[in-house]
Amino acid sequence: MPRHVLLNNLDHRDLRVRTDRGAALGDAVMSAPTFPAEFRSVQAHYPIVFQKSADGLGFQPLALFGFEPGENLFLDSGGWAVDYLPMAIEREPFLIGRDGDGLVMHVDLDSPRIAKGTDDPGSAAAEPLFRTHGGTTDFLDRMNSLLLALHDGLQAAPAFVGALLAHRLLESFVFDVELDDGSTHRLAGFYTIDEDRLAALDGAALEQLNRAGHLAPIYMVVASASNFRDLVARRNRRG
């Protein structure tokens, strides 16, 4: 169970966080939340899809790593296989909390990313959070900035999704995968951009989307679909 606490330089002055990557560190996940401002970086490696929110009223953009729960095809013996980590992955084990009207930084003390001591096999890749003589480390400063960018990005995502829904640009899809070994798999339950409807939008609609900053992220989602070929290739290599 997660154990989220407010991060502070007294209780956590000796805390160190592992930055290596692996299934044992919580990275064996099929997807991670993303947001329009991150799409340009995400689409270079991962398909971007949409999943209905738990209440069934909205949609969450996701960076897709595999075809089934617990499958991350970007993990190998060397760690994470590509050079861009989605922010929702990189920020672990930190998260945003609230203190009154302000935002504060929390840490999950039960995360496998918390280094357990010098005998921890990942201690060499563990980063301290606070300097010996006071102040935060560059690593913690980066995590703080990353959390704020993630928070702001996720807050902006509903407006983007709302625009997609207003123009009926989301459609469900099914992706059938036939592997080299003859096995078949089906990816379902996700949504993507309806390219035919996008192409049919008139100039006024396109201008409205562009002025709102939504048009470029839409095309990033469309471009990201080419990464399904890479996912299949990674799955075939894994066997």
Proportion of the chain above pLDDT 90, given as a percent: 79
Q: What pLDDT was estimated at residue 224? A: 98
| Higher-pLDDT residue of 31, 239 | 31
Mean pLDDT of 204-212: 97
- Look at the alpha carbons of 206, 212, 216, 220 in this order and tell me if their dihedral is positive or negative: negative
SS3 131: coil
Average pLDDT, rounded, for the chain: 93
Domain count, the chain: 1
- Rounded to 10 deg, the angle between the 215-224 and 203-211 helix axes is 100
Q: Is the dihedral of CA 85, 86, 89, 91 positive or negative?
A: positive
pLDDT in tens, 113-167: 999 765 555 566 799 999 988 899 999 999 999 999 999 999 999 999 999 999 9
Task: Look at residue 147 in the predicted model and tell me its pLDDT.
Answer: 96
Closest to 169 measured CA to CA, from 189, 194, 199:
194
What is the pTM for the complete model shown? 0.92
Lowest mean pLDDT among 31-45, 98-112, 122-136: 122-136
Residue 36 DSSP one-character state: G
pLDDT (0 to 100) of residue 118: 58
Q: How far apart are CA 176 and CA 139, in angstroms?
A: 41
| 215-237 pLDDT per residue, tens | 999 999 999 999 999 999 999 99
Mean pLDDT of 12-22: 93
- Please report, as a single letter, which amino acid is at residue 124: A
User: How many CB atoms within 10 Å of residue 130?
Assistant: 19
Which domain does 142 fall in, by range?
4-238
153-204: pLDDT as tens digits? 999 999 999 999 999 999 999 999 888 888 888 999 999 999 999 999 999 9
Q: Is the dihedral of CA 199, 203, 205, 207 positive or negative?
A: positive
